[in-house]
Structure 1
Amino acid sequence: MRDFWETHHWPEGEQRAHWHVLFDDQPAVHNFARTHAEILSRHPELSPVPVQWLHSTLQSIGPLTPAQAGAVAAAGQAALRDFEPFEVEIGPAQAIQNAVVPAIYPEDRISELFWTLRCATEGVVGPETMPKAPDVFWPHMSLAYSGARWDHDDLSRALVKLRPPRARMTVKRVFLVDQQQIWRDKYTWTVLAEVPLGQRLQGGARQPVGARREGSRS
């Protein structure tokens, strides 16, 4: 396995806006993650993601001014007002080149969500300011990041043997967040806006909410 942080090193203090699916109110997802905790703890090369910071990144955007963030949130709300909530399953977990991740299935609907938000965000900030769009979007959730180059065969075998049931949930909303990187540890964020799926709300996206602090939710 490679060192995740070698290729994901942000300038100190930089914050980058992202569109996320969050799991604060998803106990099945929390339980799925906790089922893997003992296996992950065997490997000091890994930085497990605390339950309160579990997320699935839909779109990395980059630094935004408050005005830009408001415009991006409004564009996302407009784009998703007719986008109905949908069911997904998370799992099984696998060791990839730099992390431990479960994929999210089925891929088609959440990939459509990615492209919808991508298009809406580009309309505000311009495609040239955003990371290059992938040829194919791969929906997933990270359970741990690798902090070294090491042989992860034992980890892969343990994950295959464990195989807990997939976590099921309904994706009902997305979050625009202002994210920061805690070097060689995790990502944290402040929620800027919560955008429901499939609701014709008046007045745009919900108002910004307060900063989330580490350990504030389980």
Structure 2
Amino acid sequence: MTSSGPFPRHLPDSTSDPEAIARNDWEAFAEIEHLRDHWSVKQWPGGRAGYYWYLTFDDPDLVSFAAECQRGLALTGIDAVPPDGLHITLGSVGDTTAVTDEQVETLVSCASERLSEVKPFDLTIGPLSGSRSAIRFSVAPWDPLLDLHRALSVCSGEVSPDPTSRDVPGVPSRFRPHLGIAYNNTDRAAADVIAAVAALRQTPERISVRVDTVELVVLRRKGRCYRWDTRAAIALGDAASNSVV
């Protein structure tokens, strides 16, 4: 397994079937021989802040589910995502130093128009899996998330100075939806961590959550944790309720 490119490398057999998605995630994770230190792999210069498209979650059942899994992984020494830090990243836009307030307004206007016809939907969160440097839940179905990613990628492409923030027509997307609950903080053999995750998968609990809002956030890294402020909240299917902070 290479250390670059999307993870999993291959798309699941179905982007709508939760079982196919979970199987694809797990098979890719189970093949990993070495885990990377997330904080070294994901370079983040001191003081950097960037605009990202996020789905954020505070559903009590999901928060409890994540906390239960984090307790089961505590002996591995991973860095747990805090209860108010659960999210799905839909895409990046650019550093705050490179994106102006006027461009933010353009982003929000574009996203409001494109998402006004998108109806709220439900996601299934779980089971637990992982990547080269993190532990995360599978999420399903992917189809509405892929649609959101494509729509927001178009908006980001109108203002973003970073061409890697957008999809390229005709090129397979690198986007792999997931919801992280912990980050690996040292380079190490993967076997023990994979075994710990496998033990937690024996209880096939899954949580259903509602997605009705997309957020444009200002993301920062504080120590070994990601934190953000919401710049705009865009309600799916209801552009009139959108707000810019």
Give a deviation string over 1:158-195, Cα, whole Å, max 9, x none: 22222341111111011000000124x11101100100
Give yes or no for the alignment of 1:49 onto 2:63: no
Question: In the TM superposition, what are the counterparts of 1:61-210 in structure 2 within 5 Å?
Answer: 61-63=93-95, 64-123=99-158, 125-126=159-160, 128-131=162-165, 133=167, 135-163=173-201, 164=203, 165-183=205-223, 185-201=224-240, 205-208=242-245
Give yes or no for the alignment of 1:20 onto 2:54: yes
Distance in 1, Cα, partners of 2:174 & 2:133:
19
Partners of 1:95 and 1:155 within 8 A in 2: no
Change (3 A) 1:190 1:128: closer
Query: What is the aligned counterpart of 1:11 among 22, 32, 45?
Result: 45
- Residue segments in structure 2 that go unaligned for 5+ positions in a row: 1-34
Equivalenced residues, count: 202
User: Which amino acid letter does the alignment assign opposite residue 114 of structure 1?
Assistant: H
Give a deviation string over 1:67-112, Cα, whole Å, max 9, x none: 2222211211111000111111111111321110112101111111
User: Which amino acid letter does the alignment assign opposite residue 56 of structure 1?
Assistant: I
- The CA deviation at 1:207 is 2.9
Q: Secondary structure at the match of 1:94?
A: strand
Given the two structures, how large is their TM-score scaled by the length of structure 1? 0.86
User: Which amino acid letter does the alignment assign opposite residue 4 of structure 1?
Assistant: H
Partners of 1:61 and 1:130 within 8 A in 2: no
Given the two structures, how large is their TM-score scaled by the length of structure 2? 0.77
User: Which amino acid letter does the alignment assign opposite residue 35 of structure 1?
Assistant: E
